[in-house]
Structure 1
Amino acid sequence: MMNKDFKRQLKEIALPVTIQCLMQSSLSLIDQIMIGSLGSESIAGIGLAGKFTSLYSVTLAAVVTVAGILIAQYRGAKDDKGVSDSFFFPFYFALILTAFFSVLSLCAPESIMGIYSNDASTIEKAAVYLKWRSAEYLPSAVTLFVSTMLRNMNRAKLPAAAGVAAIISNTVLNWLLIFGIGIFPRMEAAGAALATSLSRCLEMAIVLVLFIKEKKAQDVYLKPALHFSKEFIKKAVEILVPILIGEFLWSLGENMYAVIYGHLGTEPCAAMTLMYPIQGIAIGALCGISSAAGIITGNSLGANDEEKAWSQALDFVRLTVISGIAIGVIVCALSPFYVKLFNVAPETRVVTVKILIAFALVFTAKVFNMVVGGGVLQSGGQTKFMTAVNIIGTWGFGVPLGFISAYVFRLPIWWVYFILSLEEYVRLVISVWLLHSRKWMRNVTVKEQEE
């Protein structure tokens, strides 16, 4: 049974983060519903462009995860300088990452989208969408870092409030810019991308204002630094490099999946794209638990309380499995009604329902890997092992199985998706073994001092 302190922490951290994640996922759903009236090519184009932007988002999230791991442990150790350095060192790296992806998206969108599809019309729509979406890269980076800091300050509700404002503005701007209402030009897919980018800018502004006020209220030490101790750099890099490589390769694998879907045809690709918002919302419903897992167990490890961290880890396992099964059942039940929201061919709707059922069957494994693998196990800095797990799952199983099922056996897209997604169960088995071994329990702040 979960104790009262654990439930309180879970409520304070997980609930607001979940709301924020759901809000962010809803931005994609709103785009899809409104773009859905423009036809399958527009839907497929947005889906493929979204896969490339996700390569940036996932890589950025990996850097933010490292910041969260370090901040949580240094706060547990009550080391203010360590907390400040844990914020700025990864943030500087994120700025370099942002500049790199911005240049690619602005200068070579057609070439990038040509990798994902051989349909000229789909490529054109995807390239336009990608170019406009690149404007959200920087505000997204700032928002994620500041939100991570606020969660560690026990103010997770504040980023959630900013997320509510973002989804409202995105909905209104989508309507105005996609369809050209009033004085606004009809921009279609480009309008959806611009609306999302402007909403991210608004979200960043709100989060920054709230953070500045909270920083003063709590008298938090957070000072930009250009020089870091060798010990800190060594520790940060030791955690950052494995998780960065692992998450980048995992996301690259997801993009390879998109390449497979994109070359199966516009309609199958459109069906997969219709699945993505539901996937985002379903995963978003548990992303708060993943964030809480890293912070709560990280605090316990930073305070040298391994037994408490172990008890918390088991609570997260139980919560994740029960929630994963429940959400999977809900997705299956609602999928026939969801597909009716889009102006697509009846065949595309049928295929989308089958893909959603396949998604529901692997969903519990997906969120287990997110919460336990990405939250609990990495709270002790166990990033090298998790990098190996992600690489083995995605590139050792997922990508090969995807190509074989699509191009050797020529299976329908829902079977292709289900078979390549079985790699989630490979990662789950390995993660369970590591969890049970307790080798993930490590206080990185103590280890640094000993070195």
Structure 2
Amino acid sequence: MFKNLFNDPKFYKTLFQLALPITVQYFISSSISLVGVMMVGQLGEVSIAALGLGNQIFFLVSLLIFGLSSGYAIFAAQFWGANDLPNVRRVLGICLTLGMIAAGIFTLAAVLLPHPILSIYTKDPEVIREGVQYLRIAAFSYVPYALSMAFAFMHRSTGQVRLPMFVSAISLLLSVLVSYLLIFGHLGLPALGVRGAAVGMLFARLVEAAGMLSLTYLKRTAIAASPKELFSFNLPFLTQTLSTAMPAVLNEMAWSFAVTTYNIVYARIGTESIAAINITTTIEEMAFVVFFGLANAGAIIIGNTIGAGEQEKAFTYGKRYILIGIAGALVFGQLTSLSSRWILNFYNISPTAADYVRNILLIFSFIMWIKVFNLMLIVGILRSGGDTRFTLLLEMSAIWGIGVPMAVLGGLVLHLEVYWVYLMVISEELVKAFFGYRRFRSRKWVHNLTVVSQVVEPLPAAPSQVN
């Protein structure tokens, strides 16, 4: 595996150029989430829990949209590698249509049925009351978020990674400002508590969507398509692309519902437990930003490479991502553990909740490399090769066959402390790593998806800018 690892400067240059802007974007997004939880954390554990549970619907939406966007980004990356711009634009049209419809359905559910939804997670009336106030405002951010994600993923697949980073940075920084002013009531504005955080999120998503659309067409990027170009796909093209993209969507949804189940278990253990999980989740996201950037950059490069017909080179690139990911995770895991006591100074929580956070982060610091390995393998490599059905089967089997039963056993049957339940859940990551690596070594994950272009009439294509 170490053969020819460091003798390809062009590879590392391309990786750096793609990964850095994506990493910065994820860092800003995760920082805003962390700052938001810290601000609401000054209001107490009930508000932290309400914010976390109110965001569970957005969590489901975001993963559905991520699955859809990343599924269609597989096609976009390979079409771009094959110099087929018309089909890149058709793929964007499908992604926009399906994403905004799905987001609209979740918006209606969150606005019309907030009490029943939140009652699934907790029976604490104060948490439900504050969570409903948050959810009814934040729900209107789902549709603009779907639009932004579709454009962001297609930009990345065509090598345009700086534009999404810039737009997200501006919108999310504005979110912090608006949230701060409205949560605590500064500059003469009312103190809205968790509702202020919801307004900040909605404002950020609207600015993000408007900025993404405006800059895409003002700068005339590769995906600045006319409505006719976006929606020129026919039913056979839609059907063939869905056969590959839908497993990615189902994968993310299966994982998101599993995480939702975990949170139901954590919330039933107690308000202090779910508050601790919400805090550690934001910290884990911060620790993962570099690896999200690497995984997305890897998916772009490997997708472009397969689209260009260089399958063996794609396999070599995959080996490099695995080694880079593991080495980085070993370092970042320990840094996360060392910084945990400092981070807790920003939260107004009980000693019990603080102890839960420290123990969860200690466990996370030792198993982070396994989680990163699976991230690089599934998102960065297997999916980019079009092997979405295998990844769906792998994740479904591991999560629902091992992770969820372990959570229920530990939290609801054995009534263990939340950090022991967290450790039991991690066992599903080991299963994914074992079978996922075997699939990678087999090379059966490499699929050239550009053949679907034969089901629509070809149009003049633009040259690729990413190799």
Corresponding residue for residue 275 of structure 1 = 280
* Structure-1 residue corresponding to 2:415: 410
Tell me the equivalent position of 2:42: 37
**Shift, 1:188, TM fit:** 0.1
> For residue 119 of structure 1, what is the aligned residue in structure 2?
124
- Residues 84 and 223 in structure 1, CA contact (< 8 A), matched pair in contact too: no
1:257 & 1:380 partners in 2: Cα distance?
30
| 2:326 counterpart (308, 311, 321) | 321
Report the AA paired with residue 242 of structure 1: P
2:140 equivalent to 1:135: yes
Partner SS state of residue 220, structure 2: helix
Deviation of residue 227 (structure 1)?
4.7
Counterpart Cα distance in 2 of 1:319 and 1:57: 27
- Of 186, 191, 215, the residue aligned with 2:191 is 186
Counterpart pick for 2:103 among 98, 105, 120: 98
Q: Deviations over 1:239-294 (max 9, x none)?
A: 12212112111100000001001111111111111111111112222111111111
Q: Which residue of 2 aligns with 1:312?
A: 317
Report the Cα offset of residue 325 of structure 1.
Answer: 1.3
TM-score, normalised via structure 1 length:
0.96
Moved more, 369-378 or 100-109: 369-378
The answer (yes or no) to whether the contact 1:304–1:443 under 8 Å persists in 2 is yes
The change in CA–CA distance for 1:285 and 1:130 in structure 2 (over 3 A counts) is farther
Cα separation, partners in 2 of 1:207 and 1:447, compared to 1, 3 Å: closer
1:88 aligns to what SS in structure 2? helix
| Inter-CA distance 277–329: structure 2 relative to 1 (3 Å threshold) | same
Q: Give the structure 1 partner of residue 256 of structure 2.
A: 251
Q: Deviations over 1:370-423 (max 9, x none)?
A: 221112101121111100011011100000000101122221100101111221
2:322 aligned partner, one-letter code: V
Which of 82, 98, 110 lines up with 2:87 in the alignment?
82
Partner of 2:291: 286
Q: Secondary structure at the match of 2:192?
A: coil
CA distance in structure 1 between the partners assigned to 2:234 and 2:82 by the alignment: 18
234, 239, 242: which one aligns with 2:247:
242
Residue 312 of structure 1 aligns with an amino acid whose one-letter code is Y
| DSSP 3-state at the match of 1:163 | helix
Instruction: Indicate if the aligned counterparts of 2:155 and 2:223 stay in contact, CA closer than 8 A.
Output: no
In the TM superposition, what is the alpha-carbon distance from 1:40 to its structure 2 partner? Answer: 0.5
Letter in 2 for 1:398: G
Paired residues of 1:26 and 1:167 also in contact (CA < 8 A): no
In 1, the alpha carbon distance for the partners of 2:377 and 2:441 equals 11
Specify which of 22, 25, 38 is matched with residue 20 of structure 1: 25
Say if 2:350 is the partner of 1:345.
yes
What's the offset of the Cα at 1:183?
2.8
Partners of 1:222 and 1:78 in 2: CA distance: 19
Q: Provide structure 1 residue ranges, at least 5 long, that are not aligned to the other structure.
A: none
Aligned counterpart, 1:333:
338
Aligned partners of 1:176 and 1:184 also within 8 Å: yes
Residue 267 of structure 2 corresponds to residue 262 of structure 1 = yes
Deviation at 1:166, TM superposition (A): 2.2
* Separation (CA, whole Å) in 1 of partners of 2:92 and 2:226: 8
Quote the Cα distance in structure 1 between the aligned partners of 2:289 and 2:132. 27
TM-score, normalised relative to structure 2: 0.93
2:404 and 2:113 mapped to 1: Cα distance?
25
Cα drift, residue 450 of structure 1: 10
1:205–1:437: structure 2 CA closer, same or farther, 3 Å change rule? same
Aligned pair 1:375/2:380, yes or no?
yes
Q: Does the aligned pair in 1 maintain the 2:137–2:195 contact within 8 Å?
A: yes
Q: Distance in 1 between matches of 2:56 and 2:378?
A: 22
> One-letter code of the match for 1:262?
A
Match of 1:298? 303
CA distance in 2, matches of 1:403, 1:227: 47
Q: Aligned pair 1:386/2:391, yes or no? A: yes
Which deviations, in whole Å up to 9, do the C-alpha atoms of 1:63-84 show, x marking residues without a partner? 0001210100111111122111
RMSD between aligned residues: 1.7
Letter of the structure 2 residue corresponding to residue 114 of structure 1:
S
Output the amino acid matched with 1:105: A
Amino acid in the other structure paired with 2:179:
N
- Percent of matched pairs sharing the same residue: 28
| Native 8 Å contact 1:63 1:240 kept in 2 | yes
Amino acid in structure 2 at the alignment position of 1:146:
F
SS of structure 1 residue aligned to 2:269: coil
- Shift in Å, 1:230: 4.2
Between the aligned partners of 2:250 and 2:213, the Cα distance in structure 1 is 29
Indicate if the aligned counterparts of 1:48 and 1:262 stay in contact, CA closer than 8 A.
Answer: no
2:87/2:453 contact within 8 Å kept: no
Equivalent residue number for residue 430 of structure 1: 435
Preserved contact between residue 260 and residue 406 of structure 1 (Cα < 8 Å):
yes
CA distance in structure 1 between the partners assigned to 2:65 and 2:225 by the alignment: 24
Distance 2:415 2:249 in 1: 34
Q: 1:146 to 1:127 in 2, by over 3 A?
A: same
Amino acid at match of 1:157: R
**1:162 and 2:167 are equivalent in the alignment:** yes
SS at match of 2:160: coil
**2:39 matches 1:48:** no
Letter in 2 for 1:161: F
Distance across 2 between alignment mates of 1:161 and 1:228? 30
More helix by share: 1
Question: CA separation in 1, counterparts of 2:73 and 2:219?
Answer: 18
| 1:397 paired to 2:402 | yes
Structure 2 residue aligned with 1:206: 211
